[in-house]
A and B are shown apart, each in its own frame.
Chain A
Amino acid sequence: MRIPTLRTLFGKRASAASPPKDRSSVRVGIPKVLNIWSTHQFWVGFLTALGIAPENIVFSSDTSEEQYREYGKGRGTVDCCYPVKCMSGHYGELIFGQKKKIDVLLSPMIYSLPSFLRGHVLDTLTCTRVMAGPENIKAGFLKERDVFAENGIRYVSPFVSLGEPEKVPKQLYLALKDVLDLTEEETARAVEAGYRALEAFNQKMRQKSREILTWCARHERPCILVLARPYHMDPGIGHEIEAELQAHGFPILWMQYFPTDDDLMHWLFGEEIRAGRIKSPFDISDVWPSSYSSNTNEILWGAKVAARCPWVTCVIRFSSYECGMDQPTYTPTQKIVEASGTLYFKFGDLDATKPAGSIKIRVETIVHYVEKYSRDIIRRKLAALPPHCPLLEEAPSTSESASLAA
């Protein structure tokens, strides 16, 4: 007969006595800013696994000047880049602009990212402003009085190293345990669910990009690669410049979701690995030795991919005004891309206002060059790569081809 010890006795009772907590009515608001643009699925997966109803996970709207004017004006505490500055509007919208009030405002301080380059680079840290942005923005809502408390909202800003999954359960548990009445075990399970959701989303997006690239390869058509930070996907930050180009019939790929399948990577980088120039397709030490910053690393990697992938005949680079992380990369990125004759256009100093006129003129210029030179660029880059492109050897998906062609 097994003798129950205190530990097993209490352990059994505790688990039997703690039914899943009902958090379905808790409403959590998340400002849709900065690296939330590349990690939103983690947060959705995490909160859903904790029992928060999906309809109660509220993201703020896309950034807009109206949003800032209505909800963020007077809350700024320092002049800085627009992607951080606009956060006041997002906070304000979640506090004042919801028909159904939120209970918790969750604005994580994301210190590091689960980048696909992790393990191949020195680190995958976020920009210093990205990680510290919430500390700066919250000051605007606390400096005179506690606006969160006045509106019955719990403000919570966990410091979280998403690039080091083993740290995350403890970080989120300590930050959220009182707010959401968590246990360590369920936090750990929810974190796992969050990573699974993020990975599934990223895979899906990469697969979509591969389909686009395959279509380009089969039809010898060019595509345009966007090199930018995740938040440039926000129409209020990146001003949808890539959409203007897409309207001219050029498929657009974002570097963040470029396919990373082994076959394609080894086709593009295999010769250089064999020559000992790099250790893996994701090694960027040949072009960027100070590889600490996650988004910067990915931009540099994207530039390398663009320089090699035949159907990427043009790169458009987005950079926000006063971006200190982008600044040292301007010239290296351009040189990497242009080394293979790939076209490179930079939209720098992006700010709150959409410069519609200048975008239109530049888009026309880009279209002209892409149409004129793409055929030569594809031919030249193909000649520099081994035969048997994996994209051309896989069975075509008729539905995808038809939809893309359309």
Chain B
Amino acid sequence: METIQRINHYTAYRPRPFTREERATVTILFGGLTWKHERLIQGVMHNLGYKAQPLPNITRADLDAGKELIDVGACCPTIFTTGNLANFLKSEMAALGREEVVKRYVFLTAGACGPCRFGQYHESYTMALDGLGLRDFRLFLLAQNQLDQGATHGGGLEINLPLSLGLVWAILCADVLTDLEYMTRPYEIVPGETDRVLRESIEYLYDVFRNRPQEKLRGGKLKVFAWHVLTDYFTDALRDVRKRWDAIRVDRLRVKPKVKITGEFWLQTHEGDGNYNIKRWLEQEGAEVIPPPIAVWLDYLLHSPITSEEWKGAERNRKKIALIRTLEHIYHFVYNRFRKALGNLPYELPDQEELKHLAKPYYHYELRGGEGHMLVGKALYAYRHKKAHMICELSPYSCMPNTMSIGAMANVLGRYPDLLYAPIEVKGDAEVHALSRCQMILTEAKRRAHAEFEDALAKTGLTLEAIRRYEERHPEVQRSTYRIPHYGYAGTAANYVMHLARKMR
């Protein structure tokens, strides 16, 4: 023993336990998604008796704080999120004092992402804690692919089915609502109405999650699972939400290019300074944005083990593969129920097998890390199915996996030169450069949207005046919740013309 004491070797950060008794007094901090997702997650946590609070939305000041605290060369999501935590803790320390902050808060974040350094984010967090003199602040990791991890780190947080299913259901609800938001706002007749209704809807859904019936969360795992899958509790709530959106009137004759957002998980999900507010900026520039649902990422996580099980021997692992496929079907079933409750307006989830198949000549589906083959697959999916005029891929500067698939996209563009693709490298502090790059591609996307629209008018023989007259007689078509089927055009306006032409016949 004497020998070890002479040199005090370095050890990694180890948080002290967060105990069950502390649940009533300790607040779990979390972040990294959108305010909508985070508010519903908060509802889930409150429902289970946890004190929980999302970190404030990311700002440019977080980038500066992060840079000061962690090693040089980090990707911007790491810098932003580290700085975000640091700035919050600093402000709380100023208000409450260091000891209170250490006592009152713990931070929960996702970990374990295989080869990508995303799984090493916590090293940056702990470095920031060192820099702030908060080595004894508690930070815990949550595995992304295990629904039931039991009581962890002292029992303060129990990762069980009521929590995990609540989190997944909250994410799916926020996703479908986000789709609705982005397909409505560019066409709203009364400015600001979408945002207002969205806020009300999220608050309403927060209450829905906060008030999940406790008796349904007790008992066996199968019972809890079955209730979540089969209950009308969430779909009824979404139908109520839909009624609120009925009141929003839209003008779908505004010709707008559809821009599908893809990219690195954090950057594509984020809404704020972290990605230059690019989704709002695109809307201001006259585009309709297709936001990336987190549900696709969860679907990818669910689907991926099938390949490795097949490698081990499809015959030998038949039952396991069948179980995963069943879970996938249930997952899609739940998502589609939520979509249906919102009038099937939110986009359907792409078939993971199709994404794999589309990407195969360009990017191997077993290359893990980041979004793997999905970036190539999603771009081709949108192109082939005419879901969008343009792909805007958001990746952090020096993102390791995504730079590789961006490189592979050169091969895709060689074969499909008319696929409009804007890979945007985000550093966090080079807004003008990034946005102007996006704008160059957007100009062509706008031209195509207009060409499509003119084509639809020519094909149908309709005029704008005739459409306006029809809208006056049939105001329901101007509801934001009125569903326009897909007639082979990417743009909303062109499909709208085609739809009204059929209605007028």
Contact = CB atoms under 8 A, between A and B. Distances in A.
A135 B408 contact: yes
B389 to A, nearest CB: 22
Given A330-B71, A384-B7, A128 B411 contact: no
Which of A128, A285, A385 counts the most B-chain CB atoms under 10 A from its CB?
A: A128
26 contacts: A78-B404, A128-B115, A129-B403, A131-B115, A135-B362, A135-B363, A135-B407, A136-B404, A136-B408, A139-B411, A143-B413, A286-B12, A290-B112, A290-B122, A324-B75, A324-B117, A324-B398, A325-B400, A328-B117, A328-B124, A329-B123, A336-B10, A339-B9, A339-B10, A381-B7, A385-B3
Interface in A341-389: 380-381, 383-386
A72 interface: no
B406 A78 contact: yes
B397 to A, nearest CB: 9
Contact of A340 (B9, B401, B409): B9
A175 B452 CA distance: 43
B111 interface: yes
A50 to B, nearest CB: 22
B12 A287 contact: yes
B410 A139 contact: yes
Given A143-B410, A159-B366, 7 more contacts: A77-B411, A128-B370, A326-B73, A328-B120, A330-B73, A332-B12, A384-B3
A340 B7 contact: yes
A143 B124 CA distance: 38
B74 interface: yes
A304 B401 CA distance: 28
A116 to B, nearest CB: 19
A127 B400 contact: yes
Contact of B111 (A136, A271, A290, A325): A290
Interface of B: 1, 3-4, 6-12, 71-75, 111-112, 114-117, 119-120, 122-124, 127, 311, 362-364, 366-370, 398-401, 403-411, 413-414, 423
Q: Which 3 A-B pairs have the closest CB atoms?
A: A136-B407, A128-B369, A143-B414
Contacts of A140: 407, 410
A290 B1 contact: no
B127 A331 contact: yes
B4 A327 contact: no
Contacts of A128: 115-116, 367-370, 400-401, 404
B367 A159 contact: yes
A78 B407 contact: yes
Report, as a range, how many residues of chain A touch the other chain. 35 or more
A148 interface: no
Which of B73, B398, B400, B405 counts the most A-chain CB atoms under 10 A from its CB?
A: B400
A376 to B, nearest CB: 13
Contacts of B398: 80, 322, 324
A308 B6 CA distance: 12
Given A128-B401, A136-B403, A324-B73, A292 B7 contact: no
A127 to B, nearest CB: 6
A140 B414 CA distance: 10
Which of B73, B405, B414 counts the most A-chain CB atoms under 10 A from its CB?
A: B73
Contact of A292 (B114, B366, B409): B114
B123 A307 contact: no
Contacts of B111: 290
A327 B117 contact: yes
A172 to B, nearest CB: 13
Contact of A111 (B367, B400, B404, B406): B367
A77 B7 CA distance: 49
B414 A324 contact: no
A167 B407 contact: no
Nearest to A321: B73
Contact of B411 (A109, A138, A272, A324): A138
A111 to B, nearest CB: 7
A339 B7 contact: yes
Given A77-B410, A132-B405, A136-B408, A290 B115 contact: no
A167 B8 CA distance: 42
Contacts of A290: 111-112, 119-120, 122-123
Contacts of A308: 7, 9
Nearest to B359: A135
Contacts of B122: 290
Contact of A384 (B6, B124, B406): B6
A386 B6 CA distance: 12
Nearest to A78: B407
Interface string A282-293: 000111111011
Interface string A137-166: 111101110000000000000010000000
Given A128-B400, A328-B124, A339-B10, A293 B410 contact: no
A326 to B, nearest CB: 8
A26 B76 CA distance: 47
Given A131-B115, A159-B366, A324-B73, A383 B311 contact: no
B115 A170 contact: no
A133 B303 CA distance: 24
A386 B3 contact: yes
Given A290-B122, A384-B3, A307 B404 contact: no
B407 A77 contact: yes
Contacts of A330: 71-73
Contacts of B3: 271, 384-386
Contacts of A79: 403
A322 to B, nearest CB: 5
Given A135-B362, A286-B12, A330-B71, A143 B117 contact: no
Contact of B403 (A80, A131, A277, A339): A80
A57 B405 CA distance: 29
Given A78-B403, A135-B408, A109 B367 contact: yes
Contacts of A386: 3
B258 to A, nearest CB: 25
A359 B396 CA distance: 31
B9 A336 contact: yes
A132 B367 contact: yes
B414 A135 contact: no
Contacts of B400: 127-129, 324-325
A203 to B, nearest CB: 28
A247 B368 CA distance: 42
A127 B404 CA distance: 11
A191 interface: no
Nearest to B402: A128
A293 B11 CA distance: 19
A125 interface: yes
A287 B11 CA distance: 5
Contacts of B75: 324
Given A77-B410, A131-B115, A275-B1, A159 B364 contact: yes
B309 to A, nearest CB: 12
Given A128-B401, A129-B400, A271 B11 contact: no
Nearest to A139: B411
A176 interface: no
A180 interface: no
Interface string A62-98: 0000000000000011111000100000000000000
B407 A137 contact: yes
Which of B112, B127, B398 counts the most A-chain CB atoms under 10 A from its CB?
A: B398
B71 A327 contact: yes
